[in-house]
Amino acid sequence: MSEAPPETQLDDPSGEAAVQDHCALHPEQAATAGTCERCGSFMCDACLSDMTEKRFCVVCARRLGGGRWLRHVPVLGILMMVQGAMTLGMALLLLMYGAFTALALGDLPPSDDPAQAAISSIMLGGMVGMGLMHLPAGVMQLLAGWRVRTFHSRWLAIGSIWLGLSTVFGCYCLPTALAMIVYGSVVLHRREVIARFDAEEPTAT
């Protein structure tokens, strides 16, 4: 049986002590959004669902079919894993291409032309550098996408979609990275989505 949320004593201008109720999901927050019209639970601003014009808490909104933004979260997680796999594949391809380039340059006879040597070094460094930039972005997107599907690790997801900008020099991945930033930022910053992530995360005791 859950404990009742704590009550805060507030100073009343009339000299009497006033009691302020607290949110059912976030006991440390005052119930500034009133009560849910369906279950009667006290709500803070983060727990007030914006899926309908009625004042429903996010729990009731989910039971009634979920807010429209909540349904986007699993989709976002899958897209992040797809994006991560693409980015990781591009990273491995660039690193392998850099390795083959190094082997090919090693088989060429020495050249006295400094321009040719500089071009070869730039090509090799560019391939390896782009591969190393893509690698952490791909791994992080795969991990974050898997976690986001079950409403976990919201901040990891936000960080991973912005880390996708590290693929700026890889034309293949940059357009999808920009699209993911726009879509992910819209979904992950919705009020009911934030409240759902908070509800799913384990509470420290």
Q: What is the pTM of this model?
A: 0.61
Which residue type is seen at 60? C
Per-residue pLDDT of the chain (205 residues; tens, 9 = 90+): 445 455 444 444 444 444 568 888 888 888 888 888 878 889 888 888 775 556 778 877 766 555 678 889 999 999 999 988 988 888 888 888 777 776 776 666 666 666 666 666 777 777 777 888 888 888 999 999 999 988 888 999 999 999 888 777 665 667 888 889 999 999 999 887 887 787 666 544 4
Q: Residue 187 has which token pair?
A: 């979904």
The per-residue pLDDT for 182 is 93
Backbone φ and ψ of 49, nearest 5°: -75, 145
C-alpha separations of 73 from 13, 40, 68, 144, 192 in Å: 46, 27, 10, 12, 11
Domain ranges of the chain: 1-66, 72-189
Whether 37 and 57 have beta carbons less than 8 Å apart is answered as no
The per-residue pLDDT for 64 is 57
